[in-house]
Structure 1
Amino acid sequence: MHELTAGSRRGANRRTRRATAAILPSIAAAAGTKLPPLTPLARLPRSRRLSIPRLVIDLPLELTTTVPESFEDVTSELSRLIERPRRHTTPPPIPRPTPVPMRARTQTQPSLVGDWQLGCELGRGGMGAVYAVTHREFGKRAALKLSHTPLDGTSLGAKVFLREARVVQLIDHPSMPDVFATGTHEDRPYLVMERLRGETLIQLIERGALDRRRAIDVLIDLCDVLAVAHEAGVIHRDLKPDNVFVLEQAHPLGTRTKLLDWGFAHLLGEDDPFHGMIAGTLSYVAPEQVLGAPITPATDLYSLGVLTYLCLLGQSPFAGTTGVDLARRHLHAAPPDPALLWRDIPKPLAQLLIAMLAKEPLCRPTLEEVRATLVATRTRRRLFTLRQGIEPLARPSVAPILRRTLGAATAIACAIAGAAAMLLS
């Protein structure tokens, strides 16, 4: 059904009159009926239009009614409305729904989860919320991540929580988060982990607090933890600055970086529960993730390349106005020459950035090669250019995939999969 508004006013608009006179008779002719002569038509507000499939006509109309599917009924309704006496009353305003505050839509925060007393909310995402907590008996302070959805066998968010608790125990490295308790609250799973002090990498980038020397230190830490993860058969596949946490104080073993959110990790040799979906963030996914091809350690190398490009050059190598456009660029577009954004970039580092963003996984360097180039860049005598900061960045416009509700996640994954099929055809 289409919406039709009818009426007329003084001061008819010539363009509207000509368009209406030219188009409406052809509609009536197609239906085998005759359209009565039209009275002069006045200026139409932009908000009122006659919408016909593949055709939009501006009409100066006041009354609103529903147009039936048949053309004969359309012309009959037009005739009735056009012959009505002119009215100069102002149409009533269209009622608008009252917006509901975001906080009112969220679930009520419990005061106690297991043995943990909840404090302030530290963060919130599509899968769950993170709270500052204190153990009610021992007084230990920690962070608790509580799922939005219950563990009912079909909830994707709850499965991600349980998967993260398992994965972090497989990787022994100081840059891994320490998860030391799990449980359920009202059938919703939760994780209890160490409470970190510092900022995420995206926060540092956005406020211009990340110089190149510090960025290289963070990237070397990521190479180290990813190498241990890959050796254990675990691929993160959701590497992005939101998931990288930079500590205020260095770990006793020297690292100042934590790699978070392992719930979408792929375990080599096991069935992938996210098969057919893009389990990652579209700004950082590798081409094989878009195509649904097998996931390998080289997948993390591509995401690390996007992250390295962003940290050292101040912008992402690929940007798109839509998700499909961004996916197409990951598949086909070449990244901009790093020397255009950093004039004095060391040549080996520039070559490394391009190689990390290779479309074919086998053409990408190894983590050992990436780390060696970063260390060599950091230890060069002339590092004055590394101390120059980068401009504060706007947050990537494309939102993370699978960080919304399950319904939205499935819809987006299907849309991207369809787009990838069209790109290959």
Structure 2
Amino acid sequence: MIGTVVAGRYRVEAELGRGGMGVVYRAVQLPIERPVALKVLRRELVDAPKARARFEREARALSALPHPSAVAIYDFGEHEGMAYLAMELLHGETLSEALREGAFGAARAIDVATQLADVLAAAHGVGLVHRDLKPENIVLEGETVRVLDFGLAFLAAREGPAGRMTREGVVVGTPAYLSPEQARGEDVGPATDVYALGCVLHELLTGKAPFVGTEMEVLTKQMFAPAPPLEREGGLDVPAALDVLRRAMLDKVPDRRPGAAEIRDRLALLDPDPDRGRVRASADGYLGARAARMVEAAPASEPSADVPEIGVVGEISPELMLGLTANGIAAFVLSDAEPIDGSTRALYAPGADEAALRALSAHGLPIVTDHAKGDIAGLTARLAAGAADVVLRPVAAADLARKLLRVTRDG
């Protein structure tokens, strides 16, 4: 791979690391010479549907997360049958590496945990659950905390390729940071990330995870053992309120754990540096930042806090879905069994014929479809069958987003 130019614009320079799913390279984006991290699905997994779906899910998760502590995604695509993901290249050390030097003081631990709670609050706000928060997936860039590896994440409100993939009863995550519900193979939600954050906070303060032992011993303790006391050699000087919060985060019952936003706010009150405020990412900042990070199309409209939900009826490429996200559209694929709810503002029906458009019109929502360039008769027929607008093939994300925003505004 070294020296290869991927997709005509990413020159691979060196391997940074590899895992079970993919290999990460340092690359340069041409012609602007921007350093990037290029994650490539391992060749032996190219034909494995679940591996490909998880890889695509990471791209969608990163694209959906409105927060500066998340890693920016620049591009996602395929090169000679090989899926790739171009991301921001980080410079720093993992929290796991930093902790080899010993536990953090209370002030630094509070600062790191506050930033982690902030990015989790943003993720949970868009329905995203990480499921594998741990020191190896946290990078320290000076005073700034970044969260990696959303490959296990799912969108809690969606099923299918971009949503939940793991069956109930299957344990996913890293044992030392698993919530009790994860250890039992049960369904998970935002409270699962809160438990993992409690484990990380414990390790920040003591230098070790709350529960240690063999994998089975750790899983058993996660499910049944109470939160251990804060102990480390030389003693600890920790505010009592911080220990109370840590114990609440490690509660065995998910519904009793505080939310990430509450944790962030409670930690901020304990921060000895009152001027060290963390700015929450707003929807406006998210849309503007996401569009600026994308390689190709610029936003079709000005950023807005009102992000319309668009139901997709039919097949849509991952690249087009990401392009819609960058242009301020929250698109999701509707299944045959999934009812169209009141939050759906419009429908995109790629490849729909006149009969399909007439059937979809019964929902009372504006519909955008696509059609071949130059076929005026076919275009007219689709408008007559109920389409509010038609985008010409090949479909560009910015063009489609512009039409969808218009029909949601006018409809």
Q: Secondary structure at the match of 2:15?
A: strand
Give 1:187 shift. Answer: 2.1
Structure number with larger C-alpha Rg: 1
After TM superposition, give the deviation of residue 280 of structure 1 in Å.
1.2
Letter in 2 for 1:273: M
Q: Given residue 152 of structure 2, which amino acid in structure 1 is its aligned partner? A: F
Identify the residue that residue 224 of structure 1 maps to in structure 2.
Answer: 118
Give the one of 240, 253, 257 matched to 1:364.
257
Equivalent residue, structure 2, for 1:175: 69
- Gap change, CA 1:324 and 1:149, over 3 Å in 2: farther
Q: Which amino acid aligns with 1:372?
A: D
Letter in 2 for 1:367: A
TM-score of the two chains, using structure 2 as the length reference:
0.61
Residues 150, 158 of structure 1: 8 Å contact kept: no
Counterparts of residues 281-296 of structure 1 (less than 5 Å)? 281-296=174-189
Q: Which amino acid aligns with 1:352?
A: L
Distance 1:330 1:288 in 2: 9
Partner of 1:260: 148
Identity %: 37
Following superposition, the deviation at residue 175 of structure 1 comes to 0.9
Q: 1:328 aligns with which of 198, 211, 220?
A: 220
Which of 307, 311, 321 is the matching residue for 2:204? 311
CA distance in 1, matches of 2:213, 2:267: 29
Deviation, structure 1 residue 324: 1.7
> 1:327 Cα deviation (Å)?
0.9
Structure 2 contact 206–231 (Cα < 8 Å) conserved:
no
Q: Is the 8 A contact 1:306 1:357 kept in 2?
A: yes
Shift of 1:150: 5.6
Residue in 1 aligned with 2:109? 215
Q: Contact conserved, 2:207 with 2:232, CA < 8 A, in 1?
A: no
Q: Deviations for 1:196-235, whole angstroms, at most 9, x for unmatched residues?
A: 1111111111134844422321211111111111111111
Query: Residues 150 and 189 (structure 1 numbering): CA distance in 2 closer, same or farther, change over 3 Å?
Result: farther
- Are the structure 2 counterparts of residues 317 and 137 from structure 1 closer, same or farther at C-alpha, using a change threshold of 3 Å? same
Runs of 5+ in structure 1 lacking a partner?
Answer: 1-107, 251-255, 382-425
What's the RMSD between the two structures over aligned residues? 2.2
SS of the counterpart of 1:165?
helix
Contact 1:149 1:158 in 2 (8 A): no
Q: Where do residues 8-407 of structure 1 align in structure 2 (5 Å cutoff)?
A: 111-114=4-7, 115-149=9-43, 154-208=48-102, 210-248=104-142, 256-271=144-159, 272-275=164-167, 276-321=169-214, 323-338=215-230, 342-379=235-272
Whole-angstrom CA distance in 2 between matches of 1:198 and 1:340: 26
- Amino acid aligned to 1:140: R
Structure-2 separation of matches of 1:235 and 1:294: 11
Equivalent pair of 2:61/2:154 in contact (CA under 8 Å): no
Alignment length (residue pairs) = 267
Quote the offset at 1:113 in angstroms: 2.0
1:171 Cα deviation (Å)?
1.5
CA distance in 2, matches of 1:232, 1:202: 28
Look up the equivalent residue of 1:196 and give its one-letter code.
Answer: L
Counterpart-to-counterpart distance in 1, 2:103 and 2:179: 28
Q: 1:155 to 1:211 in 2, by over 3 A?
A: farther
* Structure-1-length-normalised TM-score: 0.59
Structure 2 unaligned regions, length at least 5: 275-411
Question: Do 1:149 and 1:157's aligned partners in 2 also have CA atoms closer than 8 Å?
Answer: no
Gap change, CA 1:319 and 1:211, over 3 Å in 2: same
Contact 1:278 1:289 in 2 (8 A): yes
Counterpart residue type for residue 274 of structure 1: T
